[in-house]
Amino acid sequence: MAEGGAGTAAAATEVLRLLTESGQTLAVAESLTGGMVAAELTAVPGASRSFLGSVTAYATELKHRVLGVDAGLLAAEGAVNAQVAAEMAAGVRRVMGASWGIATTGVAGPDPQDGQPVGTVFVAVEGPGGRKTARLRLNGSRAEIRRESARTVLELLSGQLRENARGQDTEHNGGI
């Protein structure tokens, strides 16, 4: 699935272009993608202008201790949950002082986790424009699920960045 890798690289390039143009920064919190999102971002020349860093919180306890995800939520629902993804994105944004935080959590396989089947993934974006989460139901190998999760979170952020830029253009044009 070479196209998936190319799609992720293109999404990373677009995100960094939009962040640089707007003078904003990004931090990443990853679980099932294990650093893949950060690797795609840092593969782009000039990434350091906008990308601050990442936390790979693979262990559930780290999601709470490092990123501030509610311990009660993790105990009750497990780590594969939309609210966990949202809190991860908010936590990494706060910890790193970034304009935007994005997060991935889910089940890449081979076994179900936290009562969720393989291919269940939650991605989240948090920034000046608010918070957005998405639930994915992915098929394929473990590698394909991880790659598609990375591509999707970057595309979700790209959409939010474009939406934010349109909103700012409207504000500026409306004030003339």
Q: What is the pLDDT of residues 99-158, one digit of tens each?
A: 999 999 999 999 999 999 999 999 999 999 899 999 999 999 999 999 999 999 999 999
From CA 53, how far away is CA 25, in angstroms rounded? 10
pLDDT of 3 strictly over 50:
no
Amino acid occupying residue 60: T
Average of per-residue pLDDT across 82-87: 98
pLDDT of 1 strictly over 50:
no
CATH numbers and ranges of domains, the chain: 2-169 (3.90.950.20)
Cβ neighbourhood burial of 104 (10 Å; 0-12, 13-18, 19+): buried
Cβ neighbourhood burial of 87 (10 Å; 0-12, 13-18, 19+): buried
* Structure-model confidence comparison of residues 89 and 1, the more confident one: 89
Q: Is the whole-model pTM more than 0.85?
A: yes
